[in-house]
Amino acid sequence: MIWLALEYEMNMLVSGGTASGKTTFLNVCLPFIPSNHRIISIEDTRELYLPKYLYWTPLVTRLPNPEGEGEISMLDLLVNSLRMRPDRIILGEIRRKEEAAVLFEAMHTGHSVYATVHADSANETIKRLVNPPIDVPPNLLEQVHLNVVMFRDRRKGIRRTYQISEFVSSEGEEENEIKPNIIYRWKPSIDKVVKHLPSVRLFEQLGTFTGFTENEINKEVLQRKKILEWMIKKNVRNVQDVGKVMREYYLNRDVFLKLINKNPDAKKILEN
């Protein structure tokens, strides 16, 4: 489902505590972006590594020199990235009100945006965004299509996808209130991600973006599940190898699906 949302340019925030796997999860997702999309990443420290086939411009902040000059802030890079006409903007982390304001403005102007934020749940993500120091107006959060929350179990030494949710507005007494609708959640007793609640907005928005009916969306999700299972079976895990598989999928989708239905050796695709 996340792959489908990524392909059709839906906005996503990845939340979680320190060392919960936010950037790692974002790194895993990005190779699934179509190769003809222009990607700009903005970070304090280079942590994102994308496949060579992607049209990617990485930007990194710069500290001021001893005289206090020459600083290039994340806000500077974010504002200038909009002049580069990107299809996708990736922000290392939302920390300040100014950065959030520009990022959400980018969402409203049709850019597909991905970012991380420190918060331990979908509900905490909303609270963190609408209160100082970030202080985003609640109505802007409706532009976030998916919120993925990562979790680190320090006792067991594992990291898991804790919640996958969408932000839904509800009519309050004074203004619209934004609440999370948790679609999937991690169930610790069986160590699996399970369905929690039906989607309220996501499938409708995917239908608007793609023209698919809900049945067609479900069919697309199952098709991608099959491809991912094939990649696991063939041990396609290296970022460059995943990139090659995605390139073949997007350039020759029908041919690629016929190939994996025959269950070929992954080398046939990776050597192209």
For residue range 199-211, what is the model confidence (pLDDT) as tens digits? 999 989 999 888 9
DSSP code of 141? G
Task: Please check whether residue 7 is in contact with residue 33, taking contact to mean a CB–CB distance below 8 angstroms.
Answer: yes
- Indicate the residue type of 189: S
pLDDT tens for residues 90-148?
998 898 898 898 899 889 888 999 999 999 999 999 999 999 999 999 989 999 999 99
- Domain regions of the chain by residue span: 8-211, 212-272
**CATH, domain range 8-211:** 3.40.50.300
Average the pLDDT over 172-179 and give the result. Answer: 72
Cα distance between the two ends of the chain: 28
Does the predicted model carry a pTM greater than 0.85? yes
The more confidently predicted of residues 173 and 91 is 91
Instruction: Tell me how far apart the 2 most distant CA atoms of the chain are, in Å.
Output: 64
C-alpha distances in Å from residue 70, one per residue of 25, 44, 65, 93: 32, 15, 6, 22
Q: Rounded CA gap, 113 and 124, in Å?
A: 20
Query: Is 220 a residue whose pLDDT tops 70?
Result: yes
